[in-house]
Structures are given as structure tokens and as C-alpha cells.
Structure 1
Amino acid sequence: FERGVDYELPLQAIERATRLITEIVGGEPGPVVERATSHLPEPQQISLREARIEKMLAMPVPAERVEAILTGLGLTVQSADGGWTTTTPSWRFDLAIEVDLLEELARIVGYNNLPVKPITGSLEITAVPEGRVGVGDVRRRMTALGYQEAITYSFVDPVWQKAMFPGVEAVSLINPISADLADMRLSHWPGLLKAVAHNLNRQQSRVRLFETGLCFIPGESGLQQEATLSAVVTGNRTPESWHGKGERVDFFDAKGDLESLLTLVAGRDYRFEAAEHTALHPGQSARILLNGEEVGHIGALHPSLSKQFDLEQAVYLFEIKLAAITERQVPVFHTPSRYPEVRRDLAVVVDRAVAAQSLLDMARKAAGEHLVNLNLFDIYEGEGIDPQRKSLAIGLTYRDSSRTLNEEEVNESVGHVIRALEEGFGATLRN
């Protein structure tokens, strides 16, 4: 059945058999009844362009001969603008596209009659958008940060995956190669954690892995295939050496690596916001926002999952959509200012529940147009401060590109910032 079965052959066969019976023994045949004709294949309609013949065969073929060849092969041929429209016979399952007809013409004309001439064509070099960041650039940045690329299976252990993503029904394989590789992955994390466990069981206590590829996420509109980048890190902050102190990595090491990766697409508005995730530690997890849209998560593996997976040391993970880190804003040149900067530092005491990012956002909004830099450089909790409050120290840098700012202007802006923080967060200046 490699070449198919002629679906009109049964009708021809029964008619021939009926004729032979009546000729030999006589009698009158009854009507022929056809059933399930709606399930039979449909004849293919294929367009053939005259200009394409000369280009692909390197020689022109007269229109009369083209029609004669195709008709002789059993096709129905009709003239069309610049070529022909053909309908395939029921026994030619191998004819589906224009190139198939060109092959038949070459076969009948004779391969030895075709001129020996190389096929030529124009190859245009397309411009690469300056704002595009290739996946190769992402991989190189991750390896520069000390990570090694892992390539795990697209199907994972359903027990591990359900533990990390309870309530999400993954796509299951009908015939998995093994019981622990039975579900399509919702995330790279289950596969990477398996790799971490494999390394830890072989005395490799410092592990940094990343992976890029597709994840398969069921949704209301069907199965979504989403390209993501994921990473796991555990063990010491630096490799063992004579000057190293053997400090363990923490949440901010993983966050710092991710922020370094995000410098590839500098100029985009990324934010980290505290948020819970079923696979992450409730007090050490955050979601990653790009222009207000969630594009990933970062955090420490949930302690209950560490126990379930027999991971005896803390593991930190992050995952982000590749589309969020492969397109950047093109840098724009600005003439450096010839005028000096003015810096003011503020230390304010606020409630411990206040997120530093929220405070910085309000300070930036209140500072005005001359603020060119704002950073948080100190957080203090302890002696001399209410246990329910904390001290945040921020640095504000002012500059104008056309003149030197005077003291009154800077003081006025700082005053606006202080009032905004007092009204918005109940902040007080720390003595």
C-alpha cells in the first residue's frame, strides 16, 4: 500500500466482472450500489506555471507538448493564466505539488535531453534588527556567569512535576519510554532538579545549570508551546580555593545572576515583586514583571519539596520567557552634560512590610525632572529602631544638561520627596 490503492478500481472491477458473467451465462445485472463515498480521497488540483518549467528544467518545453505529456499521464489539463490547472487521476497518489509535475515532464522529455546547467538564484542578505538579542548571546552570558548548559528530556517525572505544580494537568504520553518520563514538562525545573540531585549524589556539591527550550502548557485555547530559560544554583558562592570562605549562595546571588542576564536587554522595564509560587519558598520568592506583565519567577525551592526530592542543601531557581529577554531597546546617544552633579542622601524609617521598590518608585515620581539617578544603598534593622520598622537609605543624584543647579532647587526637590514618603508610607527621617 506504499503508493496507495486506486479508489475507482473497485467500480471498474465489478463492471468488468458483471460483463464477463452476462456474456458467459446470460442474465440481467442489477444496479451497482456505492457506499461511504464521502470517505474516499479527493482528486488533487495542481497549478503548473509555464515560466517555472524553463527555470527548473533549464529549457523551454512547448505548450502543446506539456499538455500532451500531462494528458498522456492521465491528468485532466485546463489552460490558465500563465500556465495550466491540472486534476490528478485516481491512481496517482504521488502527485501533490507543482514540483511533482515538473518531475514528470523531466522524466518523459528525458533526463539525457536536459541541458547541463547549474541552477542559479538570488540570495539576499537580510538586515538583522539591532534590537534583537540572539539565544546564543543569552547562552554565552549564562556561561560567563559560571553556569553550564543542560539539555534534559522534554518529558519528566509526573510525581516531581505534580509536586511542583499541583492542580495543573500536564499532557501525558500514551506510550512513555519509562514511568518516570511520562508527562510533557510544564517547566524546565523538574528536569534540572533531577540533574541537581544526580550531581549531589556524586559528591558534586556546587551546581549551576541552565536550559533553554520549549515547555508545554495546557490552556483554554489548547496546548501552548512556550520558549523559556530556566536555571538552578546550589552550593558555594565561589569554587573552593585558598582565599575563599566557602559561603553558600542565597536568593540574592540568583537574583544578581538574573539581573546580569537582563543587562543584555537594558532599557526595558523589569521589576521584581514578592509573590508566592507552589514550587518556591513562601518567604523567598518573587515574580518577574516586564511592563506590568508577568514573565517569570525566581526563588528558593520549597522546603517540603527539598525534603521530598532528598535535596539536603538549599536550591535556588529562576525561569523567564525567552521572548522577554531576546528583544531590547536600541541605545540612543545623549551628549554628556558638562555641568556637575549634586547628590543628597536620605535615611528614612518605615514599616518593615514596606517594599523598598515601592518607596523608590514614589521618591522618583516626587523628585522631578532633574533627578538622574536613584539608588538604595543601605537597609538597617536592629538596635535603636522599633522592631516593627526598618531604615532605608537612598541616594538621589541631580543634574541638568544646560546649567548648574542651585541649592534651592535641589533642596526643594528633596523636600517634595520627604513629604511624599511621609504621606505615602508614614516615613520619618532617621537621625
Structure 2
Amino acid sequence: MQFSESWLRQYVNPDLTTEELSHALTMAGLEVEETRPLAPPFSQVVVAEILEATQHPDADRLRVCKVNAGGDVLQIVCGAPNARPGIRIPCALVGAQLPPAEEGGKPFAIKLGKLRGVESQGMLCSGNELGVPQEADGIMELPADAPIGANIRDYLKLDDTIFVIKLTPNKADCLSILGVAREVAAITGAKLCVPEIKAQASSIQDKIKVAVESSDLCGRFAGRVIKGVNAKAKTPDWMVRCLEGAGQRSISALVDISNYAMLAIGQPTHVFDLQKIKGDLTVRWGRDGEELELLNGQTVSVAPLNGQGVGVIADANGVESVAGIMGGNPSSVTLDTQDIYLESAFWWPTAIQGRARRFNFSTDAAHRFERGVDPAGTVDALEFVSGLITQICGGQLGPVDDQVINLPKRADVRLRVARAQKVIGVPLTADVIAGLFDRIGLQYQREGNEAFVVKAPSYRFDIEIEEDLIEEVARLYGFENIPANPPVAEQRMQGTNEARRGIHKLRHAIAARGYQEVLNFGFIDADTEEKLAGNTNPIKVLNPIASQLSVMRSNLIGGLVQNLRQNLNRKASRVRLFEVGRVFNRNPEAQVGELSIAGYDQPIRVAGLAYGPALPEQWGTPSRSVDFFDVKGDLEALLAPLELKAKTFAHPALHPGRSAELTIKKRGKEITLGFVGELHPRLQQSYDLPGAPVVFEIDWAAIQDIGLPTISPISKFPAVTRDLAVVVDQSVSVAQLLDAMKAAKQLLVKKIDLFDEFKPSSGRMGGMAENEKSLAFRLTLSDESGTLQDAQIEPVISALLDAMSVKCKARIR
């Protein structure tokens, strides 16, 4: 929100300097991002009139001008093409200091000099040379009644300050001078001068019939016909200055008046050329196949997209305007327009949100409507604009056609005084709070000194719950008046739960293994969600901040792959990333709670990605790419003492032969943790990756409980090792054999390690079929009571072989 200080002070004029006013607004929650002078400093520039302009004797592009600057007639050489007798212009006298040509440069001094042998006693200035925006080339032309000899800064009112306020999305009521003035009046206690809006008398009875078909699009629609306007009328200088101070340029009188009213009172309006409207108007949602050429020249489709409709105003020929965003070229006003239809409406914020972004642009009207515009001010805005049009452009007014269809119902909000005191940390009394509410214009009923029941004004869409009122109390009381007291709390040593893993400890452990933590949005694009999660029905974001962030993620892999691509684009060769964050899934059985939403699960997941060489480049180890077993080893080390089991499974994002589902056993039940594996070759090609990264994702809730460690004595007697090689079908996994041996419950067996695997290349080899493989295990046996003998060891080996034979059809090799 940008405006000039002088415009604001027309509505409220507190006894504060510019710096003090800026500070007061910032401390009230309206952050003043920038203040800058309307024009840079310069001196001795006055209004002058060109009396005579003759050709320079030695230069084709120069003219010798006789200039009346309020004293003696001056001779000034000028090269501007529009220098001619009779016009009034800014003239810099000898000794004037003009703004530097470049930022940071020195001021430009005007001296008595000669140009091609002709003496020049000053300089005729363009707007750009004075630091004032100017569209036309040449020297700045002033109105014919500009007083000769007057200081140009005083005449153009250039001693002004531009305020740029960074508003938060909830402060839609401050997207106007009137809204900011309300805040200033409440903050400072200065008198608020609201512009007087009078009902304009009708002199004709012409009307256009308007049918509002969609009450969820338009809650109130008002309009009137105005005939006989002079669209070529000149916009008043005072209005042009207000628009320029707000960062807008003057276009034409009708457009300028509409823009001025929007900036002044916050209600966007639209002007149609009445002669271009055919038949009645209809307010409805856009339909399939409908298009409109907008005022900016862009042709857009107003058909529904992804279940999101676009509101339109249509006549008998089709769509004429995109509701609340921009008018159409077919019904736009021009300098030849004589009859107009003026529209003012309340569009529901939910009907406007996201629509302008769909068309890849935004407008001032859409910016306001999607945040909420005062529905009670619809007709007032129409009367305000009508009065300005008849005052500047003339014309005859038709009656106001006001249709109230579906206005917001504002529920009363209750504020507990004790709650406000607790949150703000200041013992504010009920009388103090009442005074603050009076200053901001809130209607309320007191419940003694205990509570207030507040009815929010129609222009305050940000007051819905008790916390909103507490915020109002805090900012009006003054954040700088709230003491910065340290928190007071009982200090107590908390016990450490050794049976549960801490999430920060896990983060440190992952980082210690060479992974770097990243933080991604919980949103992602629908294409990535389908590719990497197989999710064809994702949870859509109603109002996405960008098209590539339109759905909620159901896993963390998509964000990590995008992080990898960004790193590879910056020439990184070895990438290790991890993220701890929430994912979002539909669950009809999920109940609402403090940290949950009905119908949705939001579990925390831990995910990682490894790409490039397994080890940093070095001379001692040959370079090789990271593989499935490297990352699986990282997980086993990270999740210890939990014992991971891996089994094959299908996942849309993973290589079908180089991926596994991870499980653990808890209380006799097998619990799925997540998965680990290489990215699918199809996705590797789709994302243009030189190599396949290895990714993993595990459920945080499943790995928190690690149990207490159990103590077992170390045997005083030497351990015994035995090697055991068995032949099994190639479909039998090592995990199945290990489970079979563990199920035999041989207490003397302390450790089982796989140290060899052999598969025949073709035909039969060593008594093995082509579909068989040999696995060799090293068994470590120990007994605390004495040294083991063969008589004790052989029954154990036989029991293990029998278990593998029965459950896995294994035979000794």
C-alpha cells in the first residue's frame, strides 16, 4: 500500500512529524517499509512563461527563448522540441541546484554560460530533470494559470513524503487511505475526517436489468446508468497528484476517478461503455468454452478448472468482465464514450482467491476483493464515484439499482479480560480495554469487568475469534508499552526417558553420518506427487501460493529429489540430504484434536537421499557409487538397537529389484517402518539425473520406542566358531534363513554372520541346480559355564540345519 503523506493528512492530521507517524504506524502493526520524498531536493526553480522562441543561429536542434520568470526577461537556450511561445514551464535560475543525474552523484549547478556562442541565463527543465515522473518528452508543460515566479516545489506540492506500508493479509481494511486514517486516528487520538458521501439525485430513469445467479459469487450488486459524460475531460491536478503518490499513472478521467475512489475508500468499481452492452447483464460463474479479451490485451478462458470456477459479468453477447479482477476489452470505455454503466459490488473473497494467479497476473481490485471489501460500503462507493464523474465529466445520473443477495453474517466475539491480561502480560483493566475499543470503532457490550461481547464492523474481516480482539488490544495499547519481562516459571529437572528416542538426537546422528538437513514446503506439484507416490487423488490446496505447490505431499521423496536437481545444477557431485517433516494422507477415521484434523493423518516421517560416490574422493579407496547396501547400513546404525528386516516390495518411485520394505518386530508383531531403495530408472530419466540416487523414508512414530538395554555378562571362556554352508532355492532370502535359525532357540549361539554367497552361472555346478544358490554362515557359540566341547556343539548345528531344512528346504553343501 503506497500513498502520499499529504493525502493521508487530509483524512487525519495528528500532531506528529513524518518520522513519528511512521513509527506509530509500524508499532501498531502497519509496518512502514519505506518513506521517501516525493521529489529529490532542488532549489531556485520557478514557474516561467516562454515569450519568444527563435531558431539558434548555429544549431538546428536548439532554440533561443525569451523567458518571463517573474523579473527581468531571461535569454535561455533550450533543445526541447516542445519549446514554444505561450507555454508555462519550470525554469532553473542561475545558481539553482538540480538533482544529480545518477544516484549518489553530485547536485547539478546551473551557471551562466554560452551554448554555441549564445548566452544562456538558466535552464528550462523537464520533469525527469527535477526528479518528477513525466511521460511526454521535452520540457514540462504547466497549466496556463500557473503563477509566474512561484516556487515550483510549492506550486506542484513536491515537499511531500511517500509512505510504503507492508500490510499483512489480514489487514484488508487498510488497503485504502480511509482505512489507514482510521488506524492513525485510533493510535494518536487525532480527529478522523471521513469524506462526505451524498446520495446523488437522479435526472433520468434509465436502468439495466441485472440478474445475479450465483449467491456464492456475489453477495451484493449495485449499478447505475450515467449518460452524456465527457470522457475527454481533463483529470484534475489534485487527483493526478494523489494517483501519482500512490504509484499509479493518470490514464483518462473515467478510469482515474474509479482508481482514485478505490484508493481513497477501498471499494473497487468498474465502468462499462453502455453502448457496447447488449441486453441485460447476468452475474454468474464462467462456462466451458467461454473466453474474454481483458483490458490488458490478454485473452483468458473463464471455464472451470480443477473444480474452481471464475465469476463473470455477461450480457447477451457473452462475457464482458471477469468479476472482481478485470474488465473486458469489448465493453471498455474510450475517449469517445458518452454513456456508461457504473458497477459496484461485493464479491465473496473465496470466489476471487486464486483466480488472478490462475491468469498469471494480479490487479489492485483482486488484491482487495480476495481479502475482503466492506459490503456495507457498496452503494456509498457508487455514490462517491458518481459524484466525482458528474463533477469532472458531467452527465445525467440514473437511479441506483442495489441488489442485496447474500452478505457475510458476522458472529459476536467474546473477549475475557483475564485472558487478555494473561496473553499480553499487562494487567489491563476493563475500562482501559473499553477505551481502546472506542478508539478503533468497535461496538461492544460489557459483562461487568469480566468480559466484552464485540460486534466486528463490516469492514473488519480479521476479527473472528478472541485472539483477534486480544491482538487489537495489544497493538492499540502499544507494543512498546508492554514491558519485556523475563518469563517466570518453576525450574524443575525433567527425567530422561531412556526408553524413547529423541527426534533432535536422531537429527544429530544422521548429520554425523554426512547427511545435511533440508527443509521443504509441505506442498508439492501434482505431477511429482503422482510420480513419486503413485497418488492420483492428492489433497489439493484451496489457495496455493504457486502452481508448483498445489497439493499436499504424501511422502518426503519429491522434495529431496528436487533438492538433488538444484545441487546438481550447481555442479555438486556428492549429495547427502535428509529431512524430518510431516506428510499428509486421507484417513476417514481420523478425529479432530489439538494437533489433528478430522479426516486426515499428518504423521512425521524421516527421509534421506544419497547420491554420487560412496566415499569422498581419496587415494586409499577406489571410487564407487553409493548403493542400496550403503544406505541400508546407515539406517541400521542410526536405528540401533532396533533390528531392521528388509523384504522386497513394489513402490512407484523405486527400482523394482533394488528396493526393500523395512520392518521391525515389537511385542511379537511385525511393524512396517518405511522403505529404502534406488530411484526408478524411469524417474531417473524423467528428472535427467546422471545416476540413480538411493532414498529412504521411515515413520518417526515407529522408531521412537527403543526399550531399555538388557545386561548380560561376558563369558570368561573362549568362543567357538563354526562355518555352515547350505544350498537353497534362489527365491529364499537370507532373512528367512536367519529367522529359521533364530526360531530354533539355541542359546549357545551368540552371533550369526553371512560371509559368502555363490550362484552357478550356467548348468549344474558343484551339485547345485541353476536356480539354486549357496549361502555360508559363520556361527559364534559361547557358554558362560565352561569351554564348549564337540558333544555340545554338534546338536546345536544339527538343530539349526533341521530348522532351515523344514522352513526353507535347505540342505547342507
- For the criterion TM > 0.5, the same-fold answer is yes
Is 1:408 the equivalent of 2:782? no
Residue number in structure 2 paired with 1:420:
803
Select between 40-49 and 377-386 the one with higher mean Cα deviation.
Answer: 40-49
Quote how far apart the aligned CAs of 1:367 are.
Answer: 4.7
Residue number in structure 1 paired with 2:532:
164
- Sort the Cα spacing of 1:319 and 1:338 in 2 relative to 1 into closer, same or farther, 3 A: same
Q: 2:657 aligns with which of 283, 299, 318?
A: 283
Aligned positions of 1:8-407 closer than 5 A: 41=411, 44=414, 75-76=446-447, 121-220=489-588, 221=590, 222-263=599-640, 266=641, 268-291=642-665, 292-382=670-760, 384=766, 385-407=768-790
Task: Judge conservation of contact 2:736–2:808 (CA < 8 Å) in 1.
Answer: no
Task: Judge conservation of contact 1:56–1:119 (CA < 8 Å) in 2.
Answer: no
Q: How far apart, CA to CA, are the structure 1 residues paired with 2:564 and 2:430? A: 67
Quote how far apart the aligned CAs of 1:232 are.
Answer: 1.0
How far does the alpha carbon of each residue in 1:4-24 deviate from its partner, in whole angstroms, 9 at most, with x for none? xxxxxxxxxxxxxxxxxxxxx
- Sort the Cα spacing of 1:239 and 1:47 in 2 relative to 1 into closer, same or farther, 3 A: closer
Q: Tell me the amino acid that sits aligned with residue 154 of structure 1.
A: G
- Sort the Cα spacing of 1:158 and 1:337 in 2 relative to 1 into closer, same or farther, 3 A: same
Q: How far apart, CA to CA, are the structure 2 residues paired with 1:324 and 1:126? A: 24
- Sort the Cα spacing of 1:309 and 1:411 in 2 relative to 1 into closer, same or farther, 3 A: same
Superposition misfits of 4+ residues, deviation over 6 angstroms: 66-70, 84-87, 89-95
Q: Tell me the amino acid that sits aligned with residue 752 of structure 2.
A: L
Q: Which has the higher contact order (CA 8 A, sep 6+)?
A: 1
Quote how far apart the aligned CAs of 1:326 are.
Answer: 3.3
Q: Secondary structure at the match of 2:778?
A: strand
Q: How far apart, CA to CA, are the structure 2 residues paired with 1:215 and 1:394? A: 41
Q: Tell me the amino acid that sits aligned with residue 343 of structure 1.
A: T
Q: Secondary structure at the match of 2:602?
A: strand
Q: Secondary structure at the match of 1:375?
A: strand
- Sort the Cα spacing of 1:218 and 1:350 in 2 relative to 1 into closer, same or farther, 3 A: same
Q: How far apart, CA to CA, are the structure 1 residues paired with 2:568 and 2:431? A: 73
Task: Judge conservation of contact 1:299–1:317 (CA < 8 Å) in 2.
Answer: yes
Give the gaps of 5 or more residues in structure 2.
Answer: 1-172, 175-181, 183-405, 434-443, 458-462, 478-484, 591-598
Q: Secondary structure at the match of 1:412?
A: helix
Q: How far apart, CA to CA, are the structure 2 residues paired with 1:368 and 1:242? A: 45
Q: Tell me the amino acid that sits aligned with residue 372 of structure 1.
A: K
- Sort the Cα spacing of 1:402 and 1:67 in 2 relative to 1 into closer, same or farther, 3 A: same
- Sort the Cα spacing of 1:349 and 1:209 in 2 relative to 1 into closer, same or farther, 3 A: same
Task: Judge conservation of contact 1:157–1:190 (CA < 8 Å) in 2.
Answer: no
Q: How far apart, CA to CA, are the structure 1 residues paired with 2:431 and 2:564? A: 68
Larger radius of gyration: 2
Q: How far apart, CA to CA, are the structure 1 residues paired with 2:491 and 2:569? A: 53
Select between 39-48 and 281-290 the one with higher mean Cα deviation.
Answer: 39-48
- Sort the Cα spacing of 1:88 and 1:417 in 2 relative to 1 into closer, same or farther, 3 A: same
Give the gaps of 5 or more residues in structure 1.
Answer: 4-35, 58-65, 78-83, 108-116
- Sort the Cα spacing of 1:45 and 1:338 in 2 relative to 1 into closer, same or farther, 3 A: same
Select between 204-213 and 87-96 the one with higher mean Cα deviation.
Answer: 87-96
Q: How far apart, CA to CA, are the structure 2 residues paired with 1:294 and 1:247? A: 31
- Sort the Cα spacing of 1:428 and 1:332 in 2 relative to 1 into closer, same or farther, 3 A: closer
Select between 183-192 and 117-126 the one with higher mean Cα deviation.
Answer: 117-126
Aligned sequence identity (%): 31
Q: How far apart, CA to CA, are the structure 1 residues paired with 2:686 and 2:456? A: 61
Quote how far apart the aligned CAs of 1:428 are.
Answer: 1.6
How far does the alpha carbon of each residue in 1:269-312 deviate from its partner, in whole angstroms, 9 at most, with x for none? 43211111111111111111122121211111111111111112
Q: Tell me the amino acid that sits aligned with residue 368 of structure 1.
A: Q
Q: Tell me the amino acid that sits aligned with residue 376 of structure 1.
A: L
TM superposition score normalised by structure 1:
0.73
RMSD: 4.1
Q: How far apart, CA to CA, are the structure 1 residues paired with 2:526 and 2:548? A: 7
Q: Secondary structure at the match of 2:603?
A: strand
Q: Tell me the amino acid that sits aligned with residue 578 of structure 2.
A: F
- Sort the Cα spacing of 1:202 and 1:46 in 2 relative to 1 into closer, same or farther, 3 A: closer
Q: Secondary structure at the match of 1:180?
A: helix
Q: How far apart, CA to CA, are the structure 2 residues paired with 1:69 and 1:305? A: 63
Q: How far apart, CA to CA, are the structure 2 residues paired with 1:41 and 1:135? A: 42
Q: Secondary structure at the match of 2:714?
A: coil
Select between 406-415 and 239-248 the one with higher mean Cα deviation.
Answer: 239-248
Q: Secondary structure at the match of 1:124?
A: coil
How far does the alpha carbon of each residue in 1:166-207 deviate from its partner, in whole angstroms, 9 at most, with x for none? 244222223333322222211111111111122223332221
Q: How far apart, CA to CA, are the structure 1 residues paired with 2:749 and 2:557? A: 41
Residue number in structure 2 paired with 1:28:
none
Q: Secondary structure at the match of 1:318?
A: strand
In terms of fraction of residues, the more helix-rich structure is 1
Q: Tell me the amino acid that sits aligned with residue 236 of structure 1.
A: P
How far does the alpha carbon of each residue in 1:373-407 deviate from its partner, in whole angstroms, 9 at most, with x for none? 22222211135342211111112222233344432
Select between 123-132 and 283-292 the one with higher mean Cα deviation.
Answer: 123-132
Q: How far apart, CA to CA, are the structure 2 residues paired with 1:345 and 1:126? A: 50
Q: Tell me the amino acid that sits aligned with residue 626 of structure 2.
A: V
Residue number in structure 2 paired with 1:62:
none
Q: How many residues align?
A: 373
Q: How far apart, CA to CA, are the structure 2 residues paired with 1:74 and 1:201? A: 62
